[in-house]
Amino acid sequence: MRSGDAGPGGDSQLCVLGELVVDMLPVPTAGAGPEGTAPQFVARPGGNALNVAVAAGRLGTPVRLLARLGTGPLGANLRRHAELSGVDGAGFVPAEEPVSLAVIGLNPDGSPDYGFHVLGAADWQWTDAELAGVLPERTAILHVGSISSWTAPGCDAIARLVERVAGSALISVDPNIRPPLADGPVGASLGNTAPVVRERLDRLISRADVVKVSAEDLEWLEPDVHGRDGLDDAAQRWADRGPALLLLTDGGSPLRIARPGRPVLHREPVRVTVADTVGAGDSLAAGLLCGLLDAGVTTRRALEALPDEDLLRVVDDAALVAALNCTRVGADPPTRAELDAARATR
């Protein structure tokens, strides 16, 4: 991982573009008051883009988070969380719209129940001028994905930015599908339907150099994909759509690494005692992108020329970053020192 000035005139850097989400998590031990109507929640910073940027910052990589910072008292907490991890805050755009909220409850059987409060939120309102004003000149990798990349009206500005910088920076895409927001009644309130979301993602993936996608995402994007052989075929098919590198995650099952014209590779994930898996995929993506930067891979040609053995070392480190995150509650990725220590004991 690299360190240095993350400002516009510093080292070529990773830029992460996406949403900020406050996760309202229940406090089971607090009760809900004498009438059972006053449950207590703790607000935790979250969202794919914030998690990826924080993980990269803790690994010592120059990273800027491009995010619209909504109104209300929670915005300052989101900014502080990023900056404490070394994230360059020059990519924050003050916004008049509210911060996105995800309220999480527990059903009688212990399963989670999600309530999203995102209609009209700041994250979906990007304009071309805003993006042009916060993207640093020396961008080595631009990572986009998740809800903001497939929700209008801002998704169109994001797609145009990707098309403009493709070729001068590596483009990384993570669909990070959230089915309630991509389809159904809540999705419809945002103007999202499954065909529309798939079309918007196709536009991004056609320009992507790196794609990280989960098996759960694939099940939603391609419902006819089933079984291990189906995932192998899907990984190869996605790599043949344009990306130079496709990383397919499948929970505790082997990672699949696909490159155009090459056999699909498999890598066993690191075994750890899991506290939860919140932020695991985001930590993996950050570890992968930081590893590529550390290896000097900042162009598509360099990525295509990267030998498999060197790529597998990068992927192994990324998997270790994700595994260490899973040993702690919530999205809490490791620092560079913690990664180095864990690597030394493998």
- Residue 330 is predicted with a pLDDT of 79
Q: Decide if 64 contacts 85 (C-beta within 8 A).
A: no
Within-domain flag for 56: yes
How many domains does the chain divide into? 1
DSSP 128: H
| CATH number of the domain to which 263 belongs | 3.40.1190.20
Cα(52)–Cα(69) distance, integer angstroms: 17
Cβ burial of 243 (10 Å; 0-12, 13-18, 19+) is buried
Backbone angles phi, psi at 32, to 5 degrees: -130, 30
Q: Is position 24 within any domain?
A: no
pLDDT of amino acid 112: 62
Best CA proximity match to 177, nearest among 215, 208, 207, 204 = 215
pLDDT, position 107: 64
pLDDT given at position 2: 35
Residue 27 has φ and ψ, to the nearest 5°, of: -110, 95
Distance CA 230, CA 101 (A): 35
Report the C-alpha gap between 323 and 201 in whole angstroms.
Answer: 28
Which of 187, 189, 208 lies closest to 197, judged by CA? Answer: 187
Residue 105 lies in a domain: no
Residue 292 lies in a domain: yes
Is 4 contained in some domain? Answer: no
Q: What is the pLDDT of residue 48?
A: 93
pLDDT score recorded for residue 197:
98
Domain that holds residue 174: 13-19+48-98+118-344
Return the DSSP state at 122: G
Using CA atoms, how far apart are residues 278 and 128, in angstroms rounded to an integer? Answer: 32
Asked whether residue 260 is domain-assigned, the answer is yes
Domain contains 42: no
Q: Which two tokens stand for residue 118?
A: 């995102």
**Below-70 pLDDT ranges, the chain:** 1-12, 106-112, 225-229
Confidence at residue 276, expressed as pLDDT on a 0 to 100 scale: 79
Is 109 among the domain residues?
Answer: no
Helix then strand count (H, E) for the chain reads 13, 13
> Are 43 and 74 spatial neighbours (Cβ–Cβ below 8 Å)?
yes
Instruction: Give me the pLDDT at residue 10, please.
Output: 44
